[in-house]
Amino acid sequence: MRGGRFLTGAVRMGEVSREGKERRRGKKTMSVLSIRTVSFLGLVLLMLSASRAIGDELTIHDIQSNTTDGDASVYACDPANVDQIIDCAGGVVIGKFRGFKPRVILQDPDYPAGWGAIQVKDWVYHSDVQEWELYDNVEIGDWVSLTNVWVEEFRGTTMLHYQSTYTPGFTLISQGNPVLDAVELTAADLAFPLDHGATELYESMVVTLEQVVVGQMDLGKADDNYELIQGSDVVWAADYMNAHAGGPYDPRIETGAGLVRVTGLVEQYTDAAEGWDYYQLCTRSRDDLLAAADIPTISQWGIVVMLLSIAAAGSIMWRRERVCEA
C-alpha cells in the first residue's frame, strides 16, 4: 500500500538520524553543515517515498491524514505528473451533489474517528447516454473503490479527480451498506474562526450538532452561509448541497430559529486572495435538519391522541357489530 511506502520513508529518515548519532559518538563533533545535509537527505527520502504511487491503493485515511502542514495532503499533485496518479480503496457513498461538476462523497467506515472521508469530482460525461460515469452509477450506501484518480487541494478541501485523461475506473465493492453514524460534535470542534487542529480531521465526514440557534445569515463567499450558535461557539453552515432546499436556504433557516439537530458534511473554503478561510457544515437533504418547530407541541400531541382514540373506538364498535351479526 501507498501508506506503507510513506511509513518506509519515515523509517529511512530515522535510520539516517541514527547513523548521524553513531558518527557523532565516533568523532565527538559534527559540523552544522553535515547535520543539515543529513536532515535534507531524510526529507528528500520522505518526499520521494510519498511520490511513488503507481499501482498502489491508498485508503482515504492515508490521503487525508498524511499532511504537509496539518491540512494539505502530501499526495496532492500536479495532474501533469502521472507518477502521482493513485488508486483509492474508497468507502461508502454518503453524499452526492450535482453541481457544475458532479461530486460523490465517500467515507470509509473503518475510520470513524477522523480523516475518514473525501469528495470525488466526476469529469467523465457520456453524451450518448447522457450520464456521468461515476455520479450516475453509484448510490448512497454503495462501497466504491477507484483507480487512476489524482488528489487536489482545492480551496482547502482535499478532492479526488475522476478524469478521462487518466483512464479512471470504479468498482462497486458492495451495495446497500447501512447508513453511517454521524460523528457527534460540539460547535467548538467546528468553530469559526477556524482551527485546523480541531476541525481538519472531520473534513468531508458526516457530523452532527445538537441544540443550536441560527444566528447571522448571508455570510461567506456565496452569501449563503449561516451561523449556528451553541453557547459561546459559532459554526458556519450552508445548504448549497441540500437537494431539497429549493433555494440558498432550507425554509426552516431564519435568524433566531432553534434547531434540535443539524447533520452534514464538513467542507473547508479557503481563498486567501478574497480573504476567506472557514469550515462549513453542509446539509445534504431536508432530513439533515430537525427544527424545534418540527416536533409536535403538547396541544398537537393532544390532537393526535384524540384521533387515535376515535379510530380505536370505531374499530371496537365495528368488531362488536360483526359479533352480533354472527
With beta carbons less than 8 A apart as the criterion, state whether 117 and 108 touch.
yes
Of 80-88, 128-136, 217-225, 266-274, the segment contacting Ca ion by CB under 5 A is 266-274
Site for Ca ion in 61-100 (CB under 5 A): 64, 71
**Any idea of the CA torsion for 198, 201, 205, 209, to the nearest 10 degrees?**
-20
Closest residue to Ca ion using C-beta atoms: 158
DSSP string covering 160-224: EEE-GGG--EEEEEES-PPPPPPEE--GGGG-SS--HHHHGGGBTSEEEEEEEEE---SBTTTT-
116 vs 168 by CB, closer to Ca ion: 116
Residues binding Ca ion: number (CB under 5 A): 6
- Of 119, 134, 140, 145, the residue nearest 59 (C-alpha): 145
Q: C-beta of 202: minimal distance to Ca ion in Å?
A: 10
Q: What is the DSSP letter of 66?
A: -
- Nearest CB to Ca ion, comparing residues 37 and 68: 68
Selected from 158, 230, 242, 263, the binder of Ca ion by CB under 5 A is 158
156 near Ca ion, rule: CB under 5 A: yes
Q: Minimum distance between the CB of residue 41 and Ca ion, rounded to whole angstroms?
A: 28
DSSP bridge pairs for 159: 119, 152
Closer to Ca ion by Cβ: residue 214 or 281: 281
Closest approach of Ca ion to the CB of residue 293, in Å: 34
Applying CB under 5 A, the span of 16-24, 56-64, 74-82, 244-252 interacting with Ca ion comes to: 56-64
Of 49 and 268, the one with the shorter C-beta distance to Ca ion is 268
User: Which 3-state string (H, E, C) describes 83-143?
Assistant: HHCEEEEEEEEEEEECCCCCEEEEECCCCCCCCCEEEEEECCEECCCCEECCHHHCCCCCE
**Contacts (CB under 5 A) with Ca ion, residues 186-225:** 203
Residues that bind Ca ion (CB under 5 A): 64, 71, 156, 158, 203, 268
